[in-house]
Structure 1
Amino acid sequence: MVETAVDSETAHAGEADPLRVGVVGGGYIGTTVGGEFVEHEDARVDALVDIDEGVLETAGVELGVDADSRYTDYAAMLDAEALDAVLIGTPHTLHYDQVLAAFEHDLHVLCDKPLTTDLDDARALVERDRERDEVLMVGYQRHLYEAFVEARGVWDEEGREPRWITAEVCQDWVDRFEGTWRQNPDLSGGGYLYDTGSHLLDCVLWSTRLTPESVSASMEFVDDEERVDGRANVTVRFTNGATASFSLSGETPCMREHVRMWDGQGAVALDSQDWEPSEYAEIDEESGEYRPRIEYEDQRTKADAFVDAIRTDEKPVATALDGLRVTAVTEAAYESARGDGSFVAVDPDDVALE
């Protein structure tokens, strides 16, 4: 195999060459996160693939990819281009096969959420990832939001452990994405819970480090086959006795997100609107609500975090195991909602942190 650029050194300063990235999917993730690589001083976008030739041309121009490095076939791009990494920004159910193909070419992978929509596939990727030297990072951007980093720090303090959690998110999802792949379960894997809801589950699981034990859910589906949910209410029980209640609606006129995590001393509160990074507050009985200063302008991009993980050999901010934990809870929620709403057990081997 040809030596990757990220492992080589320049002849002048001994610094690593720019990371050569192939973008898989020319839609929103491909162009926005791909654009972060274009702007990054230690990375560049060398290739692009999309099955739609119109999208391919538009995204290719936007990302500055030469016409002869634009492909309609993913395997052809991997075989033809000398890449170090791929950004996967395709519909959810395609992620597993595309990540595996990248693994076979010894590439670093930044995969948009969710990691997979199948629990066995998620398990397989976690196991394969443990055997590799390259980085697999999942695109859960709340791991980069200073508000959630602050919240995670609270629960890392000795003697503190969240016990009561409420989390809600809403947006105009049902009408906005009608007729798109996001409401085609063969491509999306489900509905609102597998789309925006995946971020909400992840931010709670990651911030608290709690281990899910069982899941109960009720859903309002927008299709007769009950595969695409527009609204969902999910309850998660954790091994420490804590509970989390998630409320998700894809039928509101604008986006709002609110998360509250309580223990016996107080709470952390995180609020967001219109996709802006979350605001943060701490609550306790004596001083009420306190809002520490957050340096929002210092927030890293996904490209920043991905390149940093490769350069430093440290774990990425969102790992394959983070992706597996979300998939395990999500799949249990769908099983419960399509049944009688009873609690569905989560396999502790899937969700226990290393």
Structure 2
Amino acid sequence: MPETVSRDLRLGLIGCGVISAYYVRAIEKRTDVRITAVSDLDPARVPPSLVHDVPVMTNYADLMASGLVDAVIVNVPNDAHVEVCSAALNHDLHVCCEKPLALSEADAAHLTHQARTRGLVLFTAFHRRYNQHYIDFLDAGFDTASVSHVSLYYCEKIEDHCGRDRWYLNPDRCGGGCLADNGPNALDALMALLGPLTVDGVDLEVDDRGLDIRARVRLTAGAVSAEALLDWGYPDGELKGFVVRDKAGATTSIDYLRGYTGFKESLEHEYEGVLADFVARVTGAPRGAVSHCAPRGVGPEGDTVARLVADAYRQARPVPRIAVTGGLA
């Protein structure tokens, strides 16, 4: 069983897709962690700052067997998460995996069991729980006892966000569409806010590519009702955040993107939070500013969210069109 890492944490980056740059910049800001090896099928995708400093491999198995890393960041297409994560765990490497952990609840449960059996950290990067506006909301004294309903919005135009990673547009590779890919972040955010969730019903709009382009997921957490509105065809930029309605009817809006004017700018500090939490869990260091990012006892292992997503797909009712109404104003 691996011991707690006491030296600077050596990280392997597996997959250099659009999100990898946020990890790289977060790592470059720290002195206790460094990238010591990189793997991508296309070496031309490796971030320029790493090309001359670390070994670059086209086969992730070579990276895992190299002895150069203590842990890996898995940033490959969704349909490859299980294969790569399982291989890393078999090499006694801690794992930080982009969401979703897996495309089925059985695979997610298997990975979680594998990690626990081997005494390893298996961490899913639900980056929205590290958003500063969300953390400020919790710090202000959020209490579920006063809440009646929460609406969470996760809306974007996927073609604008996926960059070179066109696999997002293939339902077999991404897992189905917005429910499979953005659903985990949305459901994790609601679960971390409200506690255990039950899926009560889902409306699902599928486009001519077979991609679920919009979804409305209705949920309950005890006496609180909630809904997640997901949109991959949103025409007006981005809408990401949630609205909390209390039992007296008053509402409070939390806009994840407020003050972040650049494209995907909020991801910079959110992935700094992801990295800080992962490193703390691997090294045993104090979690500090990220200590309350799972305030309702929900951990970032990913299997609980995978079960919710699977249940949402089981309950999905196809509809011709979902209108995203309301907002964060």
Same fold (TM over 0.5): yes
| 1:191-270 equivalent positions in 2, closer than 5 A | 191-209=177-195, 211-223=196-208, 226=210, 228-238=211-221, 240-251=222-233, 252-264=235-247, 267-270=251-254
Secondary structure at the aligned position of 2:26 is classed as: helix
In the TM superposition, what whole-angstrom CA distance separates every residue of 1:291-335 from its partner, at most 9, and x where no partner exists? xxxxx9899432222222223267885776552232222222222
Asked if 1:28 is matched to 2:18, the reply is yes
| 1:78-227 equivalent positions in 2, closer than 5 A | 78-152=64-138, 157=143, 160=145, 162-174=147-159, 177=162, 180-209=166-195, 211-223=196-208, 226=210
In the TM superposition, what whole-angstrom CA distance separates every residue of 1:23-55 from its partner, at most 9, and x where no partner exists? 000112223203322332011111111112332
- Deviation, 1:201, is 1.9
Inter-partner Cα distance in structure 2 for 1:310 and 1:102: 14
Structure 1 residue corresponding to 2:309, chosen from 306, 314, 330: 330
Inter-partner Cα distance in structure 1 for 2:197 and 2:116: 22
- Deviation, 1:81, is 3.3
Structure 1 residue corresponding to 2:37, chosen from 20, 44, 47: 47
Inter-partner Cα distance in structure 2 for 1:320 and 1:51: 31
Q: CA contact under 8 A between 1:148 and 1:203: conserved in structure 2?
A: no
Match of 2:50? Answer: 63
Secondary structure at the aligned position of 2:312 is classed as: helix
Q: CA contact under 8 A between 1:119 and 1:327: conserved in structure 2?
A: yes
Inter-partner Cα distance in structure 1 for 2:39 and 2:314: 34
Inter-partner Cα distance in structure 2 for 1:171 and 1:340: 20
Question: What amino acid is the match of 2:244?
Answer: M
Inter-partner Cα distance in structure 1 for 2:162 and 2:284: 39
Secondary structure at the aligned position of 1:81 is classed as: coil
Pair 137,321 (structure 1): closer, same or farther in 2 beyond 3 Å: closer
Inter-partner Cα distance in structure 2 for 1:223 and 1:31: 32
Secondary structure at the aligned position of 1:83 is classed as: coil
Pair 311,255 (structure 1): closer, same or farther in 2 beyond 3 Å: same
Inter-partner Cα distance in structure 2 for 1:322 and 1:151: 23
Between 1 and 2, higher relative CO (CA 8 Å, sep ≥ 6) is seen in: 2
Inter-partner Cα distance in structure 2 for 1:142 and 1:177: 17
Pair 297,223 (structure 1): closer, same or farther in 2 beyond 3 Å: closer
Inter-partner Cα distance in structure 1 for 2:29 and 2:161: 30
Question: What amino acid is the match of 1:42?
Answer: D
Inter-partner Cα distance in structure 2 for 1:186 and 1:39: 36
Q: CA contact under 8 A between 2:22 and 2:271: conserved in structure 1?
A: no
Inter-partner Cα distance in structure 2 for 1:115 and 1:215: 23
- Deviation, 1:111, is 0.8
Q: CA contact under 8 A between 1:34 and 1:87: conserved in structure 2?
A: no
Alignment identity in percent?
25
Larger radius of gyration: 1
| 1:298-317 equivalent positions in 2, closer than 5 A | 300-312=272-284
Q: TM-score, normalised by structure 2?
A: 0.80
Secondary structure at the aligned position of 2:147 is classed as: coil
Match of 2:255? Answer: 271
Q: CA contact under 8 A between 2:123 and 2:301: conserved in structure 1?
A: no
Structure 2 gaps, min length 5: 258-262, 321-329
Q: TM-score, normalised by structure 1?
A: 0.74
Inter-partner Cα distance in structure 1 for 2:112 and 2:141: 25
Question: What amino acid is the match of 1:325?
Answer: T
Structure 1 gaps, min length 5: 8-15, 279-295, 342-354
Count of paired positions: 305
